[in-house]
A and B are shown apart, each in its own frame.
Chain A
Amino acid sequence: MELSANTQALAYLVSAILFILSLKGLTHPSSARRGNYLGMLGMLIAIVATLAGREVQSYGFIIAGVAAGALIGGVLAARVQMTAMPQLVAALHSFVGMAAVLVAIGTFLNHQVAGTLNPVLMGELSAGIVIGAITFSGSVIAFGKLQGLISGAPVRFAGQHALNAAIALAAVGLAIHFAATGSMVSLALMTLLSFVLGFTLIIPIGGADMPVIISMLNSYSGWAAAATGFTLHNNLLIIVGALVGFSGAILSYIMCRAMNRSIINVVFGGFGGESGGGEAAGAVAAEKGVKTASVEDAIYWMEDANRVIIVPGYGMAVAQAQHALKELTDLLEERGVEVKFAIHPVAGRMPGHMNVLLAEADIPYDHVFEMDEINPEFPSTDVVLVVGANDVVNPAAKSDSSSPIYGMPILDAGKARHVYFLKRSMRPGYSGVDNLLFYQDNVSLIFGDAKDTIEKMVAELKGGGH
């Protein structure tokens, strides 16, 4: 049975609606899984409608590709650690980018055989190739930085912006030449330069800005799909591309706003490296007039508290401390302590990263709060436990106009009666800024691995019984 072009177009419409409803499902955790299933259904309809259509004549390579892709994708999805989600996402972005480039080149070659090339088509092809190639190489760099294969520190050199601008201009020039003449040489050079541009655009961006980079590349992958839709005159690809493109763009905006920085500043700023001295923590702390505390001190205040708020950051993920936190939470709740989690929008390496890690540890989502929801509660909170976070609670963002993080909205942890920081060392956060909170009277630091420290707290609560 062969689907007519009209039936196929209607199937695509159904599929587009399902994708919109799928994203809509993420409005609330209770409807999210259904949303994901609607997305799967939309994809199934789109693929079946395409295969049953008139254009697809041979199936051998397609079946092989889908089978291999299903296997690889399935294994990746089943095996990936939740802490490594940012890497998986970066890898998947790069695949969309590369697929868009391959589709564009394949479309060009098919039209060349059929003799149906025209300048508009070649212009659209160029857009697909340029965006796809930038998405690919940019995502590969992001993956490398997240995985620690290349340094997370911003790589900057003189004339960087001029170089990027020159490459971009050259790529556009080649695209115009290609569209006008169909020159394969221009096509090849343009493709090559676009790959280089993705590399040079992302390499200067520091590890601290990963949530923005992930969101930005998410957006690019959408635009790459939309550009492919333009080339193929396929409205489904255009719609889905626009949805994904906007999703990434909005996330980028939210992340930038949470750091009080403009997207321009992030892209060209080169902010924050991952390196830092691991000096003898205790000594430095004492020198600077910072108080340190023991696990017992913290437990003393926590076990009789009315409310404890835990502020997790990327350090929690690194130490894999989320499961120990769950145990601590349960023990405190048994004693009638109200335990809440406070999440800053840029905590972690991608938007919403902390929420997933806490969910993985079985911490119910109705215990987890966004910054604006929880900030009014800090002044009436007995104990705040900051686990592997730093800049997001630094009051310098409010008081020190010379600080690089000035103006960034923060969690008002310092307003609680007692604040305990679980830290490995005195090294500052990713912004490289000293945390003014450390010098406040109600704040103490507990040095050590976050997971070990929390496990000690759990043991103290279990064995203690003062």
Chain B
Amino acid sequence: MPDTLVALYVFVLACFIGYFVIWGVTPSLHTPLVALTNAISGIVIIGALLVTGAEQASSGVEILGFFAVLLASINVFGGFLVTNRMLAMFKKKKK
């Protein structure tokens, strides 16, 4: 099976996982959900690392890559930290 087709399999199956997992999320946590998905969509940092660190990367690509790493890192750090900050506020009634 060619690579692209394997990738398509993975993609479609992951869509199904996403569908079932997300429907389970409680509506009261929808804002943290958006912030958390912000953080994990920062996974494009992997792409940025691969492009920036590649052996054949020209200095132009390195600069391009630097900005990609920067933007993706803001998502990763900003997303996880703000999600944590929000979730810490959700408390049950004190006894």
A140 shortest CB reach to chain B, Å:
13
* A/B interface sample: 12 pairs, CB < 8 A: A26-B33, A62-B52, A65-B70, A69-B70, A77-B82, A229-B7, A243-B21, A350-B30, A353-B31, A355-B29, A364-B93, A365-B28
Specify which chain A residues have a CB less than 8 angstroms from the CB of B71 in the assembled complex: 69, 95-96, 98-99, 102
Contact status of A367 and B34, CB under 8 A, knowing A36-B83, A80-B82:
no
- Show the binding face of B for A, using Cβ within 8 Å: 3-4, 6-7, 10-11, 14-15, 17-19, 21-58, 60-94
With A27-B25, A39-B39, A243-B37 already in contact, 18 other A-B pairs whose C-beta atoms are closer than 8 Å:
A20-B21, A23-B22, A32-B90, A36-B80, A36-B83, A62-B49, A88-B35, A95-B74, A102-B67, A110-B56, A233-B4, A236-B46, A240-B41, A241-B11, A244-B41, A251-B33, A343-B27, A352-B30
B44 touches A43 (CB 8 A): no
B63 touches A61 (CB 8 A): yes
**Beta-carbon contacts under 8 Å, A2-59 to B:** 19-20, 22-24, 26-30, 32-33, 35-36, 39-40, 42-43, 46-47, 50-51, 55-59
Name the one of A55, A93, A215, A243 contacting B17, with C-beta atoms under 8 angstroms. Answer: A243
Q: Cβ of A232 < 8 Å from any Cβ of B?
A: yes
B48 shortest CB reach to chain A, Å:
5
Q: Which residue of A lies closest to B56 (CB)?
A: A113
A232 touches B76 (CB 8 A): no
B85 touches A78 (CB 8 A): yes
Name the one of B14, B26, B40, B68 contacting A22, with C-beta atoms under 8 angstroms. Answer: B40
Specify which chain A residues have a CB less than 8 angstroms from the CB of B37 in the assembled complex: 23, 218, 221-222, 243-244, 247-248
A62 touches B7 (CB 8 A): no
Q: Cβ of A368 < 8 Å from any Cβ of B?
A: yes
A70 touches B77 (CB 8 A): yes
Contact status of A85 and B35, CB under 8 A, knowing A103-B44, A106-B68:
yes
Q: How far is the CA of A61 from the CA of B65 in the complex (A)?
A: 8
Contact status of A65 and B7, CB under 8 A, knowing A36-B83, A39-B80, A248-B37:
no
A109 touches B61 (CB 8 A): yes
Specify which chain B residues have a CB less than 8 angstroms from the CB of A105 in the assembled complex: 64
A352 touches B74 (CB 8 A): no
Among A82, A215, A237, residue most surrounded by chain B Cβ atoms (within 10 Å): A237
Contact status of A92 and B75, CB under 8 A, knowing A26-B26, A32-B87, A61-B62:
yes
Q: How far is the CA of A232 from the CA of B21 in the complex (A)?
A: 26
Q: How far is the CA of A78 from the CA of B84 in the complex (A)?
A: 10
A265 shortest CB reach to chain B, Å:
21
Q: Which residue of A lies closest to B83 (CB)?
A: A36
B53 touches A59 (CB 8 A): yes
B82 touches A352 (CB 8 A): no
B7 touches A36 (CB 8 A): no
Q: How far is the CA of A107 from the CA of B24 in the complex (A)?
A: 36
Specify which chain B residues have a CB less than 8 angstroms from the CB of A29 in the assembled complex: 26, 28-29, 87, 90, 92
Specify which chain A residues have a CB less than 8 angstroms from the CB of B56 in the assembled complex: 110, 113-114
A226 shortest CB reach to chain B, Å:
6
Q: Which residue of B lies closest to A40 (CB)?
A: B80
Q: Which residue of A lies closest to B29 (CB)?
A: A26
Specify which chain B residues have a CB less than 8 angstroms from the CB of A231 in the assembled complex: 47
A224 touches B49 (CB 8 A): no
Specify which chain B residues have a CB less than 8 angstroms from the CB of A32 in the assembled complex: 29, 32, 87, 90
Among B11, B22, B46, B54, residue most surrounded by chain A Cβ atoms (within 10 Å): B46
B93 touches A367 (CB 8 A): yes
Name the one of B22, B45, B91, B92 contacting A246, with C-beta atoms under 8 angstroms. Answer: B22
Name the one of A42, A66, A102, A366 contacting B73, with C-beta atoms under 8 angstroms. Answer: A66
A46 touches B86 (CB 8 A): no
Q: How far is the CA of A250 from the CA of B6 in the complex (A)?
A: 25
B74 touches A92 (CB 8 A): yes
B19 touches A106 (CB 8 A): no
Q: How far is the CA of A105 from the CA of B65 in the complex (A)?
A: 9
B75 touches A23 (CB 8 A): no
Specify which chain A residues have a CB less than 8 angstroms from the CB of B66 in the assembled complex: 61-62, 64-65
Specify which chain B residues have a CB less than 8 angstroms from the CB of A368 in the assembled complex: 28
B33 touches A50 (CB 8 A): no
B64 shortest CB reach to chain A, Å:
5
A365 touches B74 (CB 8 A): no
B47 touches A39 (CB 8 A): no
A350 touches B49 (CB 8 A): no
Q: Which residue of A lies closest to B14 (CB)?
A: A242
Interface string of A316-349 (1 = CB under 8 A from B): 0000000000000000000000000001010000
Contact status of A22 and B36, CB under 8 A, knowing A62-B49, A103-B68:
yes
Q: Cβ of A238 < 8 Å from any Cβ of B?
A: yes
B47 touches A107 (CB 8 A): yes
A33 touches B84 (CB 8 A): yes
A88 shortest CB reach to chain B, Å:
7
Q: Cβ of A100 < 8 Å from any Cβ of B?
A: yes
Q: How far is the CA of A313 from the CA of B83 in the complex (A)?
A: 22
Name the one of B30, B57, B67, B83 contacting A58, with C-beta atoms under 8 angstroms. Answer: B57
Q: How far is the CA of A164 from the CA of B79 in the complex (A)?
A: 32
Specify which chain A residues have a CB less than 8 angstroms from the CB of B72 in the assembled complex: 69, 95-96, 99
Q: How far is the CA of A362 from the CA of B94 in the complex (A)?
A: 10
